[in-house]
């Protein structure tokens, strides 16, 4: 046995200086190519999690599952793998873990055979009372086979006193707190649910008259599906195949309605730029961030250079507003993965050059304005600034398209501890700039970010978005943290999977 501590973090990048989100979900009902379409949808959502992927389907008689560590394309492009996933209904999941170890047993969707029949569930986000409920379930005799908080939902469904799977699902969801979007399949149903605050995104689409749900619209685009609408906050949508083959769709509210507060980091960092989140183009929002950043923090320079890839739309906006030419002064190597090489201390000394290279022709002798989407710990920024200076830059000015990050997240974003965040280590931006080695450093204001995304300033009395990482204003209670269970050890068997 080994002691495993929640939450867990993994340095997938060499510096551990990147924000990661837990996962992406995709589901479809009533289509003969359900598993293949799910694999394609997960491929489009790969940016939301690169550790593992799983698909569960139902062929009318039994459930089938395929789970693999690694990228979607490493496994689900194999026709032999897809042949193991027959049926006209499926849900899939691509994972980056924020709770639970990296092991095959934690790869979603999770499946359970219940009194009312089999059910598989997968979710994106994090339950802020998941560990509290897990402890209560174990105390009551429950046996947990994984360290994923998704398993708690299965136990709650199993213990519910309602008759139908739909009512049991709703009963379980009403007990969960935090930020999440969730999909489940039974023998006849595809069920979608979104948290009452609407922190994590979930959209509904249609292909050949069949309902689809996905974390982002880019997963609909890849299969040629039509976007129907966003799943509303606190909404549960039940799609069911009827005996005659038709599909009924029923929308319910899980109760406890709250004003929607979508996660701002979907716009800053997580969502793909070609996605539409909350009815807003992510690309346009990011470009607007650069425009507002240039208005708030102008500086004389010769070139505007994005830190790829996240900083590119904002850098385009900054260049457009400032009139300073945009250039690709940093080239990213897209073929360096987390398993490229063991990140020993000697290899770490190569620093950021494994992923980024300076384009000397665009930098040498120039005043460079570096535009990045966010700064977490600052270790990557320090190395990029040094790389730019080594390429001959006269000056290096950093402009950041999000405010300073002061607080950790508990809704599915893997953030460092509060004392590891750069913003909490220095008294002002001048001290931060000196630490990083930049001539100047400035961040967009919270109102500038709000205007870029929603078109108006932040309403302090009723914030329009989830923004606690910048403001400390958490949209829900944090039961696990308040009960000091967020760091409590739970024993699990070590796995080689």
Task: List residues with catalytic annotation.
Answer: 23
CB proximity list for 12: less than 8 A, separation 6 or greater:
18, 20, 50, 51, 96, 338
Sign, CA torsion 401/407/411/414 = positive
User: Contact, 172 vs 180, CB < 8 A?
Assistant: no
DSSP class of residue 106 equals G
Provide the strand spans (E) within 170-246. Answer: 178-185, 189-194, 203-207, 210-214, 226-230, 235-241
| φ/ψ bin of 43: left (φ > 0), alpha (ψ from -120 to 50), beta (otherwise) | alpha
**Distances from the Cα of 354 to the Cα of 13, 51, 118, 339, 381, angstroms:** 10, 20, 46, 13, 14
Indicate the burial class of 279 (C-beta count within 10 angstroms; 0-12, 13-18, 19 or more): exposed
Give the Cα-Cα-Cα angle 227, 317, 445 (nearest 5 degrees).
95
Q: Which residues pair with 2 in a beta bridge?
A: 492
Q: Report which DSSP code applies to 72.
A: G
CA 211 – CA 226 distance, rounded (Å)? 10
How do 203-207 and 276-277 pair as beta strands? unpaired
User: Cα separations (Å) of 56 from 64, 90, 108, 166, 274?
Assistant: 6, 6, 9, 18, 27
Q: Can you spell out the DSSP letters for 311-365?
A: THHHHHHHHHHH-PPB---EEE-TT--TTSS---HHHHTTGGGGTEEE-HHHHTT
Pairwise CA distance, residues 385 & 439, whole Å: 10
């Amino acid at each position: 046995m080994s002691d495993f501590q929640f939450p867990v973090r993994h340095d997938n990048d060499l510096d551990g200086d990147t924000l990661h989100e837990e996962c992406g979900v995709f589901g479809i009902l009533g289509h003969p190519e359900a598993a293949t379409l799910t694999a394609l949808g997960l491929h489009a959502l790969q940016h939301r999690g690169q550790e593992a992927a799983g698909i569960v389907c139902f062929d009318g008689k039994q459930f089938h599952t395929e789970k693999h560590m690694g990228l979607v394309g490493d496994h689900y492009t194999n026709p032999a793998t897809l042949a193991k996933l027959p049926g006209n209904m499926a849900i899939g999941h691509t994972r980056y873990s924020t709770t639970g170890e990296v092991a095959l047993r934690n790869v979603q969707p999770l499946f359970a055979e219940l009194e009312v029949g089999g059910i598989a569930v997968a979710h994106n986000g994090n339950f802020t009372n998941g560990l509290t409920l897990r402890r209560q379930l174990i105390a009551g005799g429950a046996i947990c086979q994984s360290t994923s908080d998704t398993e708690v939902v299965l136990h709650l469904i199993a213990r519910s006193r309602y008759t139908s799977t739909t009512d049991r699902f709703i009963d379980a969801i009403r007990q969960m707190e935090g930020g999440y979007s969730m999909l489940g399949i039974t023998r006849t149903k595809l069920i979608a649910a979104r948290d009452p605050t609407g922190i994590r995104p979930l959209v509904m689409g249609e292909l050949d008259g069949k309902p689809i749900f996905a974390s982002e619209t880019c997963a609909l685009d890849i299969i040629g599906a039509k976007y129907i609408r966003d799943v509303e906050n606190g909404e549960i949508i039940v799609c069911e195949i009827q005996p005659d083959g038709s599909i009924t769709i029923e929308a319910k509210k899980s109760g406890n309605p709250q004003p929607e507060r979508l996660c701002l980091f979907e716009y800053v960092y997580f969502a793909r730029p070609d996605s539409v989140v909350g009815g807003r183009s992510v690309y346009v929002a990011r470009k607007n961030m650069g425009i507002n950043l240039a208005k708030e923090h102008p500086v004389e320079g010769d070139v505007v250079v994005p830190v790829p890839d996240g900083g590119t739309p904002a850098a385009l906006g900054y260049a457009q507003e400032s009139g300073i030419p945009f250039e690709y002064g940093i080239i990213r190597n897209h073929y360096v993965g987390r398993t490229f090489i063991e990140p020993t201390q000697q290899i770490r000394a190569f620093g950021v050059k494994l992923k980024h290279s300076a384009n000397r022709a665009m930098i040498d002798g120039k005043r460079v304005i570096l535009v990045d989407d966010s700064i977490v710990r600052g270790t990557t920024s320090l190395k990029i600034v040094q790389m730019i200076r080594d390429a001959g830059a006269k000056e290096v000015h950093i402009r950041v398209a999000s405010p300073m990050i002061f607080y950790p997240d508990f809704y599915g974003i893997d953030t460092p501890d509060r004392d590891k965040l750069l913003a909490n280590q220095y008294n002002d931006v001048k001290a931060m700039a000196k630490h990083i080695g930049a001539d100047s450093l400035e961040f967009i204001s919270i109102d500038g970010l709000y205007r870029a995304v929603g078109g108006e300033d932040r309403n302090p009395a009723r914030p329009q978005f989830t923004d606690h990482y910048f403001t400390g204003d958490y949209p829900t209670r944090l039961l696990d943290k308040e009960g000091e269970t967020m760091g409590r050890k739970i024993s699990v068997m070590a796995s080689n999977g």
